[in-house]
Structure 1
Amino acid sequence: MRALLPAALFVLTGTAAFADQPKLAVFDFELIDTSLPGEFYGSKPENERMLRIGDQLRKELAQSGKFQVVDIAPVSDAARHSNLQACGGCDVKLAGQLGADLEITGVVQKVSNLILNLNIYLRDVHTGNLVTVASADMRGNTDESWSRAMSYLIRNRLLAPNYGKPE
């Protein structure tokens, strides 16, 4: 069994050459909408925002030089038709099909238009183990609040030099 803890720590601190960078699959985010408006009118604005923050996450992690972000297109249909948070490891299996070392899934929970939460889960594809979780609360359901929450998590959690390291 291949352990990727050193690679995961590199992800958070990295200085290795591109060839040594872990391959990362970033799946589209999922929505848990328990709000009253979502129940009555659906979640169209949130669905569009989830696609945007997924693209933002892929772009910023690729630009960081710490990852080789892989294209999820070959498995995106299967991922879209699964609940990646509760499918018994199908996310890890799909990422493995892409040749990824690490994979990210994410969930946005909408309680109301004022209270939302963004969660990111980073897993080691080879072991299935959770490497880290990053979470941010959002106040306000706007494009700007979603983008800022994602930027915060990328900058201060996923790419922070000491995040995920034992003290």
Structure 2
Amino acid sequence: MKVIKYWQVLLFRISQPSSIINDRKPIETLVFVGYSKEKPNIKLGTGLSIELFTAPDSLETQIIRDHLIDIVRCFPVCEDDGDEKDGAPEKIHDHSCVNCFADKGPCLGKCHVSDVNKARSSSFEDVVKPVIKWLNENANPHASVIIDVTNATLLTGEIGVHTEEFIKD
């Protein structure tokens, strides 16, 4: 049986980006990570403040006004009370083989989880490196570039390129 040592509390603010590049999806911004000895009963929008410990073993607290917070996530942090079969701590996997996912049997060690974001990141890096190189060679050091699906703008106001050539239907 697991015994809860303390609660980790994550406080988030939601912001709505104004740019089309971000597809107008709300962005969750972490405001504060705090800790509580008991399960927090936080009711947002009441005008009250939230007081949390700054570390699990600290007596220092921080007070946050609840109107700054949109989302509260609480996670219990447990300690083992000795009922473990072999006395070893529970192994945490950062992969997902069939046995690990179903919690049946030992890890197969063949956890082939493809990371789509890694491939995208690599191809994105290949595309933007020439742009960054061109900026370093041809633009002033304070210039910026905004690129979206139809437009590329150099923010010194000198150059703008508009195309609809690559738009998908």
TM-score range relative to shorter protein: under 0.3
Give the structure with the higher percent strand: 2
TM-score, structure 1 length as denominator?
0.22
Q: TM-score, normalised by structure 2?
A: 0.22
Q: Between Structure 1 and Structure 2, whose CA radius of gyration is higher?
A: 2
Task: Give the structure with the higher percent helix.
Answer: 1
Higher relative contact order (CA 8 A, sep 6+): 1
